[in-house]
């Protein structure tokens, strides 16, 4: 049985790595055997952060250097990412889930379905409550939209309920989950959504 592959993409600093850090213990507590592939421009910064976190065995984190264009390696030519995922599956034959973290990108970034079975797009309230209204392909096409940093809403003048309503409206009712990745709010719901979407047969 091969591992399910999911993507986590979104603008620079929206909280992709923070979401993965919060998800790892929740998914592991639910019996999910997982590994992570990170994509950075020219460093392995996100991979190093996860390896140092103590949340996951360091060898379960692989880094792909995306070069100048982060969405190329998750959309146009995902070869490097497929190879990194295949290597993790060879090293960990019982793997249930491979999480691909995209490099920080813009609202147009999307994942190739040759690479992932299902993908999350992360935006944050500090980026502005007009982000859903801009109807970027990431916001529209992802399987799950995460609106992160809900704790910051009062400080940046964002009406969170309205932002969530607008996000649901532009997505024609497809799932939207609000999170505070630093404190763990909403993370259980994101883990549930991942399990229901791609792991249901293994963890029912
Ligand atoms: N207040 C608050 N800060 C957060 C939250 N999630 C992430 N952050 C902070 O936002 C900053 C960016 O978070 P990252 O997880 O590095 O974001 P990223 O999307 O992985 O960033 P890149 O990989 O650079 O694109 C860090 O300083 C985090 O501590 C949140 O829910 N609330």
Q: Ligand 1 — pocket residues by CB below 6 A?
A: 10, 12-18, 46, 104, 148-149, 151-152, 180-182
CA–CA dist 204, 196 (Å, integer): 9
Q: What is the pLDDT of residues 140-186, one digit of tens each?
A: 999 999 999 999 999 999 999 999 999 999 999 899 999 999 999 99
| Other beta carbons less than 10 A from residue 19's beta carbon | 23
Q: What is the pTM of this model?
A: 0.96
Ligand 1 centre from 80 Cα, in Å?
25
Is 70 exceeded by the pLDDT of residue 203? Answer: no
Q: Where does the chain have alpha helices with state H?
A: 16-29, 45-52, 79-91, 137-141, 160-170, 187-194
Q: Which token pair is 80?
A: 């490097």
* Average pLDDT in the chain: 94
Q: Counting every residue, how long is the chain? A: 204
Q: What is the pLDDT of residue 202?
A: 65
In this predicted structure, the answer to whether residue 25 has a pLDDT above a threshold of 60 is yes
Ligand 1, atom 23, lies closest to the CA of: 104
Q: Residue 115's pLDDT band (boundaries 50, 70, 90)?
A: very high
Give the mean model confidence (pLDDT) for residues 32-36.
98
Check pLDDT > 90 for residue 7.
yes
* φ, ψ of residue 35 in degrees (nearest 5): -145, 165
Q: Is 16 annotated to bind ligand? A: yes
What is the whole-number distance in angstroms between the Cα of residue 204 and the centre of ligand 1? 32
Domains and CATH numbers, the chain: 4-199 (3.40.50.300)
Residue 134 known to bind ligand: no
Ligand-binding annotation for 15, yes or no, is yes
DSSP E strands: which ranges in 55-104?
A: 61-65, 97-101
Angle subtended by helix axes 45-52 and 16-29, to nearest 10: 40
Residue having the nearest C-alpha atom to atom 14 of ligand 1: 15
Q: 97 and 198 in contact (C-beta within 8 Å)?
A: yes
β-pair type (61-65, 34-40): parallel
State the pLDDT confidence band at 40, using cuts at 50, 70 and 90: confident
Assembly ipTM? 0.99
pLDDT tens per residue, range 56-83:
999 999 999 888 788 899 999 999 999 9
């Amino acid at each position: 049985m091969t591992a399910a592959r999911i993507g986590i993409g979104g603008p620079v600093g929206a909280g992709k790595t923070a979401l993965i850090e919060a998800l790892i213990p929740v998914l592991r507590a639910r019996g999910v055997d997982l590994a992570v592939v990170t994509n950075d421009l020219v460093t392995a910064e996100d991979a190093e952060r996860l390896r140092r976190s103590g949340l996951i065995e360091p060898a379960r984190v692989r880094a792909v250097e995306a070069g100048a264009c982060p969405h190329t390696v998750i959309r146009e030519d995902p070869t490097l990412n497929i190879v990194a995922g295949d290597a993790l599956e060879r090293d960990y034959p019982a793997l249930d889930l491979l999480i691909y973290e995209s490099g920080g990108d813009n609202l147009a970034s999307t994942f190739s379905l040759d690479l992932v079975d299902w993908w999350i797009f992360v935006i944050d309230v500090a980026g502005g409550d007009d982000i859903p209204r801009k109807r970027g392909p990431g916001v529209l096409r992802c399987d799950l939209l995460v609106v992160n940093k809900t704790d910051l809403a009062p400080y940046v003048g964002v009406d969170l309920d309205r932002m969530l309503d607008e996000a649901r409206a532009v997505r024609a009712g497809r799932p939207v989950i609000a999170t505070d990745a630093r404190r763990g709010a909403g993370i259980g719901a994101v883990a549930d959504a991942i399990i229901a979407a791609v792991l249901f047969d293994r963890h029912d």
